[in-house]
Structure 1
Amino acid sequence: MKYTLGILALCTILAGAQQPPTPSLSEARQLFTQGKLDQAFIQLDTLAKQTPEPTGVEHLRGLIFYEQNNLTEADAAFAKALAQDPKDTEAMQMRGVTLFRMGRAADAILLLEQARASVPDANIDPNYVLGVSYMQVGRNDDARHAFAAQYGFPPDSAQAYLLAARMFFHQENTPAARASATKAVQLNPSLPLAHQLLGEIALAGGDTATAITEFQKEVLINPLNGEVYDRLGDAYLRNKQYPEAQHALDRAVLLEPNATGPYILLGKLMLGRQNPVMAGMYLERARQMDPGNYIPHYLLGQVYRAEGRKDDANREFHAAEQLQSSHPSTMETPH
C-alpha cells in the first residue's frame, strides 16, 4: 500500500512537471525589448486568460501593436489598460499619440493634456504631438506653449514664437507662420533665423522683394550663415537680378561647400545668362554630390541640349524622369 501511494505521488509530481510554466509579464516585456513580438503576444494571450487579467498586459499589448503600426488595435489595448489603471500615465500618453496618428487630434488633446511626462517607448515627443494637435484645431497659443516646453523655452519668448512659426510653416499654415515670426522679431529684432524665416515665407508666396529685404536683414545679424546666402541668391535669381544672385551664391558655396543647393542655383543662373558651359560645370558638380536629386539631371539636359549634345541631353532627361517618378512626394518644378 505504501508502495502504491509512492507511485501515485511520483506520477503527480511528474504530471505537474510536464505543465508549461505560467509566463510572467516581465518575460513578455523582455521579449518585446528583444524584438520578439510574436512570442510576446503568445505570453500576453496566456496572461490575459487569468481572472482578473493582470494589470499591465493590455499596456504592453498596446505598445506591441503600436510598434507594428496597428493603430486601431493599439488604441483598443491602451483603452483597456486605462480602464484597468486610470493612473497609467504612459498608456494615457501612448493612446493620445495613437489617436493623433489616426487623425483624431481633438481626442488626442484630451489625453495628452492629462499626462505630460516623457514616454520613452513612443519614439515621439508628446509635447510635439500635443503642439501639432493644437495647431490642427486652431489653438495656436497652446501650440506655441507645447513646442516651447519641448525645447525648454519660456512659453511667450521670442524663441518660442520663432519655433512655433517654423512649425506653422512646415504645416503650410502661412498666415500663422508669418504672424508668429513677426511677433518673434518684435520681441527680439536681433534674433537669429527670424528674418530668414520671414524671407522664406515671402519667397514661398512669390513675394521676392520682401524676401530679399528679409534675407538682407538676416545677413546683417548672422553673416556666416551659408543658408541665408543660398536663399538670398534664389530670391535674386527669381527677380532676374543676376549679378546680385551670383554674388550671394558664391558666398553660399564658400560657407557651405557640401550643400548642393547653391551649385544648382548657380547652374540655373548661368543658364539664364546664356552660359551653358559654366552652367554645366556647376550642375555636374551638383549631380556628383547628389545623384539621386532629379533637378541637376533635368537642368543638365537643358545644358546639353543648348550645346547640341542630343544623346547626353536625352540621357539626363530620362534620368530626371525616372527619379521624379520614383519620388513623387518630393517633386519640384525647377524655376
Structure 2
Amino acid sequence: MPTEPNENFTTTMLNSTTPILGCPPVGIQLEGVILPPVLTIDVILGILGNVVALWIFCFKLKSWNPNTLFLFNLVIADFMVLVSLPLRIDALLRGHWVFGDGMCRINLFLMFSNRTASIALMTVVAIYRYFKVVHPHHRFNRMTKRQAVFVSVFVWLLVISPRVPMLAYNHIKGSGSSTQCFFFTSYKEASRAIIILVGMHRILTVVEFIIPMAMLLFCSIRISSFLKGRQMGKADKVRKAMRVCVAIVAVFMVCFLPTTVTTIGVWYIRSYRPLDCSSFYTFTQLNIVSLGLNFLNSALDPIVYVFSSSMFRKALCSSLPRALRCGKDAGDDGENAQSTSGTQSTTQQELKSMRTDRGSEAM
C-alpha cells in the first residue's frame, strides 16, 4: 500500500537475524485486517455515487458551465482510484501481489494521483465560488467553457508531472508467495532514485494539503465576512453561499488531514527519534488506519457535487421517484438549473442590484 508504514513492512532482516532499522518491523497483519473491509466500503460507496454523478453529468444536464466542468474532472479523478483499489484489496486478502510489475506501477501511480487531483480540483471549485461571490465583476467570472478546459488540463499536468517518475521504476519486492507491491522500502534496499521519490512524496503529501487547506479557509472566511458586510447576513443566505466551501473543507479534514498528520509523525520519528519504537509503532498504525479515510474522498465527492451545483442537484432530484423528490430548491449562488451557462445566479443578481447604492466590488 502506498503509505509510509510500507517502508517498514518491507524491512528485511540482515543475515536473517539483525534488523536493518532501529526498531523491528511492525508486520503486515494490521494492514491486512483493517484495510480490506474499509477499502471495500470505500469502493462500493464510491462506485454508487460516482456512477450516478457520471450519468447526471452526461445525460441529464442540459448545459455545462466552468463549475460543472471542474466537477466532472473530479469524477474522473475518483474513478482513477476506484479502478485501482480492488487490486489492492485482493493483494491484502491474499497477502501478496499477483498482478505483475506493470500493473503494480500503474496501481501506485493512479492511487497517488487521485489524492493530488482530488485536492487540486476541489480547491479550484472553491476558488471559482469565491470569485463568484466576493468579486462578481472580476474577469475571472467571464471564463468560457473553452478556458475552463485549459484550466483543467493545466491542473492535470500539475498533478501528474510529479508522479510520472514512479512509472519508471520497479516497485515489486520479494518473490513467489511473498511478492509485494510497495512504493516504499527500507533505505538499505532502495536505490538513490527511489529514495529521492520517497522524499518527493513526503513533501508533496504535506504541501498539497497545507496550501489548499489555507486557501479554502481563506475563501470561506472571506465569503462569510463579505456577505455579512453587505447586509446579506441572514442565516439562509450565508448558509447557501458557504455550503460549497464547508463541504469541501469537511472532506479535506476527514479524508486528508489524518494521513498528513501521521505522515509527518512517522517522518519526524524516523529522522530524529529512530529508537523511539513505541511512538514509531503508534504513528505507523495510525497511518495505516488513515488510509481508509484517505480514499473515502471518492465516496464523499458526490456530496460536494450536490452542494456546489444547483444544476446537478436539481437534475438529481428530478431523476428520483416523485415521492422522493426534493422540495423546491431556492436560488443557489452558483447557477440555475434551467439556465444556460451564461445565466446569472441568485447571489450574483443580489450583488448586482446593490451596485448602485453599495458600490461595485473591485475587479
- By the TM > 0.5 criterion, same fold? no
What band does the TM-score fall into relative to the shorter chain?
under 0.3
TM-score in terms of structure 1 length: 0.21
TM-score in terms of structure 2 length: 0.20
Higher relative contact order (CA 8 A, sep 6+): 2
Greater Rg over alpha carbons, structure:
1
